[in-house]
Amino acid sequence: MIVLVMGVSGSGKSTIGRMLADALGAEFLEADSFHSPENVAKMSGGVPLEDADRWPWLDAIGSAITGLRQAGKPVVLACSALKEAYRRRLFDRAGETARVVFLSGGADLIAARMGRRQGHYMPPALLPSQLATLEPPEAAIRVDISHKPEEILAEVLNGLKAASATG
């Protein structure tokens, strides 16, 4: 099983992803840890990434997923995965589809959350470019991020259970 927890920066991917991995007994992968120093410097400087910056990053994440899945381990991945093409690239290599959890919220809420974060390279000034790039997934468990993390986790777990029951 692979579960992608996706959304723009500041939507709570890392928090919910870690909680979900713990609840499922899965390995947790944080996509931010796969960025090259060049990508981090670019974003820290307020410059949005382009597709050419993202492909090697997505391939590295895809390889990590494949290795864990070949070892029989379930995986929860926290990754922006803003475009459908990025999501396909991540999971084509693994040879299986992922359950997608889309953390969704208003721009004002997300900007406020980003403004409160400390020690993260992604400045709030890049939120508009992320929102412009975002292609919301069609088949996903869509969750409103205005709730408490524990409530979001419960909603995600219920969504995964329902998705498993329907195939």
How far apart are alpha carbons 129 and 95 in whole angstroms? 30
Q: Residue for token digits 């997934």?
A: 137
What domains can be seen in the chain, in order of their start residue? 2-166 (3.40.50.300)
- Inform me whether the pLDDT recorded for 73 exceeds 60: yes
Give CA separation, 88 vs 34, 128, 137, 149, in Å.
18, 23, 11, 27
Amino acid 4: pLDDT: 97
Amino acid 123: pLDDT: 58
Query: Is residue 163 packed enough to be buried (19+ CB in 10 Å), middle (13-18) or exposed (0-12)?
Result: middle
Which structure tokens are listed for 21?
């991995």
User: 104-158 pLDDT, tens per residue?
Assistant: 887 777 766 666 766 555 556 666 777 788 899 998 999 999 999 999 999 999 9
SS3 119: coil
Rounded mean pLDDT of the chain? Answer: 87
- Inform me whether the pLDDT recorded for 58 exceeds 60: yes
pTM of the model: 0.86
What mean pLDDT do residues 5-21 have? 92
